């Protein structure tokens, strides 16, 4: 202990530990990459599907309904996936349907997020009676079964695409609100938020700079899942005949309309069903892969 | 003695997909003999925990054994089948984690958890295990040993829980015990109670142990053999006497230098003209505060009572006391995070509003709170340039290029490279994060910084660097500090004045050198003599002192009337101390003490403890011996 100062200065090699390695980027495994490519394919189809489709979605051109895979209509062309119950080309309708189904679901999920996250994080930051009122109203909405509520709104207001988007977004905003509020509350108790409050920061800064950046990853993952639910919701409404109206093609109604074909050995109902499955499962694969690469923390946060 | 554990050429690495694996442990050799305690010491990142976990054939995720052997009684644990490993863990080798609170399940009784592993492994029946547990509770000197097992974890104190964890590990009579920093998170007084129990039980059980810690003074008390590690390599190893008294390796010497020398007067810097100003910066007057609804100026749970203190401009006031004494609450009240129930906080001549929301921007700027854990205090999604730049923007109205220049200036002030502005907190080490944490508060250009245990979570070497930085900041900026800690040595070296808090009341306050020299308040004395000294045999010597035995054996009792220290005080006056609030009197200018004894009596006791203590023997009623959970 006598050479205290000398030894402390000489030993600079033992100074504080080397810098931590830079933060790792999210790396997808082949599963995630598969998901990304399938989703990208469908997103591409949203934009170019109608242009590359051999026929228009409403064209009744074939000789026969429920034509098998790889059949031909003289003078018109091939039906790669066969025809449906009123002699329309399935492939063309699946490609057209991507725009309707994915487009509407995406818009509806966007709106649900806009409303749900704003109110949810807002309630978490504001706390008190604001939080109380928002949350109880939200609980009431959540307690209603989504399909029944959807049917009710659609029956009351009529079936049009804007109404459909509105219905889906109201229903799903409620569950987004729950997640956003829970995430927000977790973050609100962190010391850095308290530090910002004591510094005199306004609510806007706290929401946008302190809370949202920390909630964005789990919310983005949830967005993927929520999109899947909305696709299935719109498809179920269409399946019941209250969603997209004919002759517009959408995957859900295509399944319903062609269901009879199964009895005649036609795959007409299978193709749109596969489209729904491939899109939704791929999104799930991406979500799972991201949360696995984050050590499963996202999944855990989303449950809470 | 035979070799119980033989570690030879142990290598552990973190494999990476691209590029060579990172070597964590680089060929370590050491032995543990039966009945011997081997200490692995080093700072964080030295691989000490990784090596100790290796004896359980376990590595943290992302690491793997890449060479060498660990032989327990001749069996290499690294080549064991999974079924053998299951038998090894908890049966032949038991692990004691740092935090007992995190180890115990709050929903099960203590006994269920202590005996679980032994019964599960089929070593003994539930009845045998229960009997064995009670035997261990006796050995560990736990209060009410026959029934403590039926309590739930929240019904015992932190130190007791730590000892119960030892019982959990020992119940199956393991060959080897691995203790990972078991006392690091504890208060000094609790630490010595736990150390004493551990040492006794290890000796009585004759089991061998690996004791992982960074605290040399603790090691000097419990270890037989010391292995000094740095960066995954053994720097030096030898008997405890060899290392503590005749260290050869420069790294060991450096560790010793950073280790706590006991708190003594005269360790701190003398006040220089630069920061000595005789005006109050902040004054706390007759303040009472607590949590819950305030009715008639009394909160539901009173944490602080009747606090009077002040921080002078440019001074450093150290606030010390055991956990739960209200240190952090005091800082939170001053910062406006918790409005006081009674009393005033006066700054620069005007009374501050209770809650931060009602304070002016100027007031908010003047007082800055520095959090203990940099990990939660810094937003992980903000760049350092925003974390520091935001207060600069808010309080100094600087933006754009000027803001960046200011941020660079502040980074240089806390001795970090300017390039760190473009990093995220997760890209920094613990010590660097703590510097950023300080930098953010500095960026507001405050008059006073309230530092809440800012060095407690850091290694001794990193912590001493942070204290050095704080001293420099004080000299450069003239800012005042309120430095909250349970580490007396740091306070002795850094503070100008000390405030000693006990159960929400100030028991002694004054200039550092006055408080640290006799006469002491009995509680201050207990605190000072509880700090481990780097001397073999210190623990035994200390525990022989009767006043230590009394003070250590009992817990804090929060009382509404009388002196709160009554139940632990060796010189308590029965009939007076527990009924009447102790008077506060001035010993020397600025040095206040709250005690029923006058200065002369206290001094007499200091000089001749045995004789005077004898006279006060009656003052400790036997029914008070039962330990009250914190």
For residue A146, the domain's CATH number is 1.10.3720.10
Which residues form the domain of A253?
27-303
d(CA B577, CA B254): 46
Q: What does each C-alpha distance from A120 to A115, A133, A172, A208, A227 come to in angstroms?
A: 8, 12, 13, 13, 18
Which residues make Cβ contacts (< 8 Å) with residue B34, sequence separation at least 6?
B1, B2, B4, B206, B208
Helices (H), A64-198: 90-126, 128-143, 146-157, 161-188, 191-198
- Residue A80 inside a domain? The answer is yes
For B66, the token pair is 């890449």
Report the gap between the CA of A21 and the closest CA in chain B (Å). 6
The verdict on a CB contact (< 8 Å) between B257 and A4 is yes
Report the gap between the CA of A252 and the closest CA in chain B (Å). 40
Residue labelled with tokens 């991406």: A286
Which chain B residues are Cβ-neighbours of A7 within 8 angstroms?
Answer: 250, 253-254, 257
Q: Inform me whether the C-beta atom of residue A6 falls under 8 Å from chain B C-beta atoms.
A: no
- Residue A226 inside a domain? The answer is yes
Q: In angstroms, how far is CA B344 from the centroid of its own chain?
A: 31
For A35, the token pair is 């998901």
In the 3-class helix/strand/coil scheme, how is B349-394 assigned residue by residue? CEECCCCHHHCCHHHHHHEEEECCCHHHHCCCCCCHHHHHHHHHHH
d(CA A251, CA A273): 7
For B13, the token pair is 């690495």
Cβ neighbours around B617 below 10 Å, total: 9
d(CA B153, CA B103): 10
DSSP A22: P
* CA torsion angle B173 B179 B185 B190 (round to 10): 50
Sign of the Cα torsion A190, A196, A199, A200 reads negative
- Cα angle A92, A93, A97 (rounded to 5 degrees) comes to 120
Which chain A residues are Cβ-neighbours of B378 within 8 angstroms?
Answer: 192
- Residue A16 inside a domain? The answer is no
d(CA B623, CA B178): 37
Report the gap between the CA of B261 and the closest CA in chain A (Å). 10
The verdict on a CB contact (< 8 Å) between A20 and B429 is yes
- Residue A2 inside a domain? The answer is no
Strand partners, B290: B302
- Residue A7 inside a domain? The answer is no
DSSP B596: S
3-state secondary structure of A130: helix
The verdict on a CB contact (< 8 Å) between A201 and B356 is no
Q: Rg of the Cα trace of chain B?
A: 26
For B151, the token pair is 């309590």
Q: Inform me whether the C-beta atom of residue A303 falls under 8 Å from chain B C-beta atoms.
A: no
Which chain B residues are Cβ-neighbours of A196 within 8 angstroms?
Answer: 390
Which of A4, A6, A15, A16 best tests the B interface by mutation, with the highest count of B CBs <10 A?
A16
3-state secondary structure of B628: coil
The verdict on a CB contact (< 8 Å) between A199 and B390 is yes
User: Which residue in B251, B364, B394 is closest to A14 by CB distance?
Assistant: B251
Q: Which has the closest alpha carbon to B10: B22, B24, B21?
A: B24
- Cα angle B223, B227, B229 (rounded to 5 degrees) comes to 135
d(CA A106, CA A109): 5
Residue labelled with tokens 């959970």: B629
| Each residue's pLDDT expressed in tens, for chain A with a length of 304 residues | 333 333 333 333 334 444 444 445 667 788 889 999 999 999 999 998 888 888 888 788 777 778 777 777 777 777 878 888 888 888 889 999 898 888 899 899 999 999 999 999 999 988 889 999 999 999 998 998 888 888 888 889 888 889 989 999 999 999 999 999 999 999 998 899 999 988 888 888 999 899 988 888 888 878 878 888 888 888 888 878 787 777 788 888 888 888 888 888 888 889 999 998 999 889 888 888 877 766 544 444 444 3
At B527 the pLDDT is: 85
d(CA B437, CA B402): 21
3-state secondary structure of A56: coil
At B387 the pLDDT is: 93
3-state secondary structure of B565: coil
Q: Inform me whether the C-beta atom of residue B533 falls under 8 Å from chain A C-beta atoms.
A: no
Window 455-514 of B, Cβ < 8 Å to A: 461-462, 465
Q: Rg of the Cα trace of chain A?
A: 26
At A19 the pLDDT is: 46
Q: Inform me whether the C-beta atom of residue B205 falls under 8 Å from chain A C-beta atoms.
A: no
At A161 the pLDDT is: 87
Q: How far apart are the first and last CA of chain A?
A: 53
Window 607-626 of B, Cβ < 8 Å to A: none
The verdict on a CB contact (< 8 Å) between B429 and A8 is no
In the 3-class helix/strand/coil scheme, how is B477-518 assigned residue by residue? HCCEEEEEECCHHHHHHHCCEEEEEECCEEEEEEEHHHHCCC
Helix (H) / strand (E) element for B288: namely: strand B280-295
The verdict on a CB contact (< 8 Å) between B465 and A16 is yes
Angle of helix A212-239 versus helix A270-293 axis, rounded to 10:
160
Q: Which residues of chain B have pLDDT under 70?
A: 1-2, 258-262, 265-277, 546-555, 557-558, 608-630
The verdict on a CB contact (< 8 Å) between A10 and B431 is no
CB distance B210 to B55 below 8 Å:
yes
Residue labelled with tokens 């080798």: B93
Q: Which has the closest alpha carbon to B454: B442, A250, B613, B445?
A: B442
- Residue A178 inside a domain? The answer is yes
For B183, the token pair is 């006392």
Q: Inform me whether the C-beta atom of residue B251 falls under 8 Å from chain A C-beta atoms.
A: yes
Q: Inform me whether the C-beta atom of residue A214 falls under 8 Å from chain B C-beta atoms.
A: yes
- Residue A9 inside a domain? The answer is no
At B609 the pLDDT is: 61
**Total count of domains within chain A:** 1
d(CA B542, CA B533): 10
d(CA B80, CA B70): 11
The residue of chain A with its CA nearest to that of B255 is A8
Which of A126, A198, A301 best tests the B interface by mutation, with the highest count of B CBs <10 A?
A198
The verdict on a CB contact (< 8 Å) between A23 and B432 is no
Whether a cis peptide bond, with omega within 30° of 0, leads into B20 is: no
Which chain A residues are Cβ-neighbours of B249 within 8 angstroms?
Answer: none
- Residue A285 inside a domain? The answer is yes
Strand order across the beta sheet in which B505-511 lies: B367-370, B448-452, B480-485, B316-320, B497-502, B505-511, B591-594, B584-588
Q: Inform me whether the C-beta atom of residue B420 falls under 8 Å from chain A C-beta atoms.
A: no
The verdict on a CB contact (< 8 Å) between A194 and B337 is yes
At A243 the pLDDT is: 79
Q: Inform me whether the C-beta atom of residue B391 falls under 8 Å from chain A C-beta atoms.
A: yes
User: Which residue in A17, A197, A216 is closest to B45 by CB distance?
Assistant: A17
Q: Inform me whether the C-beta atom of residue A9 falls under 8 Å from chain B C-beta atoms.
A: no
Which residues make Cβ contacts (< 8 Å) with residue A254, sequence separation at least 6?
A84, A90, A93, A94, A97, A268, A269, A271, A272
CB distance B222 to B211 below 8 Å:
yes
3-state secondary structure of B610: helix
Report the gap between the CA of A36 and the closest CA in chain B (Å). 23
By residue count, chain B amounts to 630
d(CA B87, CA B333): 52
């Amino acid at each position: 202990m006598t050479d205290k100062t000398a030894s402390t200065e000489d030993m600079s090699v033992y100074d504080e530990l080397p810098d931590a390695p830079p933060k790792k980027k999210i790396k997808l495994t082949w599963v995630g990459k598969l998901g990304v490519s399938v989703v990208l394919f469908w997103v591409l189809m949203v934009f170019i599907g109608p242009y590359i489709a051999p026929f228009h979605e409403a064209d009744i051109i074939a000789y026969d309904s429920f034509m098998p895979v790889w059949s031909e209509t003289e003078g018109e062309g091939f039906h790669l996936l066969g025809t449906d119950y009123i002699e329309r080309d399935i492939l063309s309708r699946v490609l057209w349907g991507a725009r309707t189904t994915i487009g509407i679901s995406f818009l509806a999920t966007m709106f649900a997020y806009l409303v749900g996250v704003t109110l949810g994080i807002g309630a978490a930051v504001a706390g008190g009676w604001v939080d109380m009122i928002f949350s109880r109203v939200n609980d009431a909405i959540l307690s209603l079964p989504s399909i029944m509520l959807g049917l009710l709104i659609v029956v009351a207001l009529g079936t049009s695409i804007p109404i459909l988007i509105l219905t889906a977004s109201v229903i799903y905003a409620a569950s987004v609100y729950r997640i956003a509020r829970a995430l927000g509350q977790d973050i609100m108790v962190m010391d850095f938020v308290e530090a910002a409050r004591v510094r005199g920061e306004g609510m806007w800064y706290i929401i946008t700079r302190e809370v949202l950046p920390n909630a964005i990853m789990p919310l983005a993952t949830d967005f993927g899942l929520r999109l899947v639910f909305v696709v299935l919701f719109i498809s179920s409404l269409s399946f019941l005949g209250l969603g997209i109206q004919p002759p517009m093609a959408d995957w859900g109604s295509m399944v319903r309309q062609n269901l009879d074909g199964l009895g005649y050995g036609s795959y007409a109902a299978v193709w749109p069903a596969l489209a729904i499955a491939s899109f939704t499962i791929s999104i799930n694969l991406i979500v799972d892969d991201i949360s696995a690469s984050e050590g499963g923390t996202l999944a855990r946060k989303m449950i809470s | 003695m035979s070799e119980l554990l033989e570690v030879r050429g142990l290598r552990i690495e973190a494999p990476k997909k691209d590029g060579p694996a990172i070597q964590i442990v680089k060929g370590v050799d050491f032995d543990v003999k039966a009945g011997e305690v081997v200490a692995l010491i080093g700072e964080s990142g030295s691989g000490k925990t990784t090596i100790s976990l290796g004896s359980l054939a376990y590595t943290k995720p992302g690491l793997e054994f890449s060479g060498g052997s660990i032989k327990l009684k001749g069996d290499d644990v690294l080549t064991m089948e999974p079924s053998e490993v299951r038998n090894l863990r908890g049966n032949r080798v038991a692990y004691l984690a740092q935090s007992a609170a995190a180890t115990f399940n709050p929903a099960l009784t203590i006994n269920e958890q202590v005996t679980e592993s032994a019964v599960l492994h089929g070593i003994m029946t539930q009845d045998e295990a229960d009997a064995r547990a009670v035997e261990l509770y006796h050995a560990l000197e736990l209060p009410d040993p026959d029934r403590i097992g039926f309590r739930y974890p929240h019904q015992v104190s932190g130190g007791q829980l730590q000892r119960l964890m030892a019982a959990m590990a020992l119940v199956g009579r393991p060959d080897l015990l691995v203790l990972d920093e078991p006392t690091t998170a504890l208060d000094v007084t609790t630490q010595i109670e736990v150390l004493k129990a551990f040492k006794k039980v290890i000796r009585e059980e004759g089991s061998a142990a690996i004791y992982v810690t960074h605290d040399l003074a603790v090691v000097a008390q419990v270890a037989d053999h010391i292995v000094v590690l740095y960066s995954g390599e053994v720097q030096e190893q030898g008997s405890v006497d060899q290392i503590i008294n005749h260290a050869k390796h420069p790294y060991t010497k450096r560790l010793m230098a950073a280790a706590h020398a006991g708190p003594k007067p005269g360790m701190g810097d003398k006040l220089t003209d630069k920061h000595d100003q005789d005006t109050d910066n902040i004054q706390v007057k007759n303040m009472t505060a607590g949590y819950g609804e305030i009715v008639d100026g009394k909160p539901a749970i009173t944490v602080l009572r009747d606090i009077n203190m002040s921080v002078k401009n440019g001074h450093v006031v150290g606030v010390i006391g055991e956990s739960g004494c209200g240190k952090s609450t005091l800082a939170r009240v001053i910062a406006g995070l918790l409005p006081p129930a009674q009393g005033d906080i006066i700054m620069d001549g005007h009374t501050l509003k209770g809650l931060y929301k009602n304070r002016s921007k100027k007031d908010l700027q003047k007082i800055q709170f520095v959090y203990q854990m940099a990990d939660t205090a810094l937003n992980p999604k903000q760049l350092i340039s925003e974390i520091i730049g935001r207060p600069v923007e808010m309080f100094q109205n600087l933006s754009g290029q000027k803001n960046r220049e200011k941020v660079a200036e502040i980074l240089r002030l806390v001795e970090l490279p300017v390039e760190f502005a473009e990093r995220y907190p997760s890209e920094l080490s613990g010590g660097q994060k703590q510097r950023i944490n300080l930098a953010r508060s500095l960026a507001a250009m405050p008059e006073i910084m309230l530092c809440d245990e800012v060095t407690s979570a850091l290694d001794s070497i990193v912590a001493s660097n942070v204290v050095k930085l704080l001293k420099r900041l004080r000299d450069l900026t003239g800012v005042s500090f309120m430095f909250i800690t349970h580490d007396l040595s740091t306070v002795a070296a850094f503070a100008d004045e000390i405030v000693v808090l006990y159960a929400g009341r100030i028991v002694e306050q004054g200039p550092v050198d006055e408080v640290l020299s006799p006469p002491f308040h009995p509680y201050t004395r207990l605190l000072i003599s509880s700090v481990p000294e780097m001397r073999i045999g210190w623990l035994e010597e200390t525990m022989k002192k009767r006043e230590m035995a009394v003070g250590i054996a009992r817990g804090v009792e929060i009382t509404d009337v009388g002196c709160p220290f009554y139940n632990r005080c060796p010189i308590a006056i029965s009939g007076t101390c527990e009924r009447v609030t102790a008077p506060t009197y001035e010993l020397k200018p600025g040095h206040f003490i709250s005690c029923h004894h006058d200065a002369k009596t206290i001094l007499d006791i200091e000089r001749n403890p045995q004789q005077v203590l004898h006279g006060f023997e009656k003052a400790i009623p036997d029914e008070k011996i039962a330990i009250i959970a914190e």
